[in-house]
Amino acid sequence: MKKLNLLLGTLIGILILSCSSDDNNSSTQNNPIIGEWKLVSIAIQGQNLDINDCMLEQTRTFQTNGNLIEYFWEEMTPCTYKTATVQYTFENNILVSINEDDGINATAFEITNEVTTLNETTLIYTETGDNFDGSYSENQQQTFTYSKVE
């Protein structure tokens, strides 16, 4: 009887562990934007901009809870970086970053991006506008390419 209870307890433990592992993987598989992404390039109208090594260290980490952690270079400094946490939404290939601290008149600052490529290794999106200036003209739209870190 003791052997049967031990076997049954072991099987239940394995079942519980395997179920929780699958749950974690499925959320990332269902939303491939989740994870850390490192900047590769920035382009305007198909022409890559000259970006320095400091800029190439920038990352964006999309979390399942809707937080976006931005690790970015503070321009005009010798590779000094800052980290900021903002909110994001991602639906129908539209990525919106929402910064509650950068708005005016108690309105959050939101940047709208159109995602053109998203797979296991590459994220490419174009900034198309924001909630203060409206839609950007084509010569103002920047296209960002990121490579997945995790």
Residue with the bigger pLDDT between 132 and 113: it is 113
| Alpha helix (H) residue ranges in the chain | 2-30
pLDDT digits (tens, 9 = 90+) for 57-109: 999 999 999 999 999 998 888 899 999 999 999 999 999 999 987 656 668 99
pLDDT digits (tens, 9 = 90+) for 7-47: 344 444 443 444 444 444 444 457 899 999 999 999 999 99
Which pLDDT score, from 0 to 100, does residue 11 have?
41
One-letter amino acid for residue 95 of the chain: L
pLDDT at 1 over 60: no
Write down the residue that tokens 């382009």 correspond to: 43
Closest CA to 137 of 146, 126, 148: 126
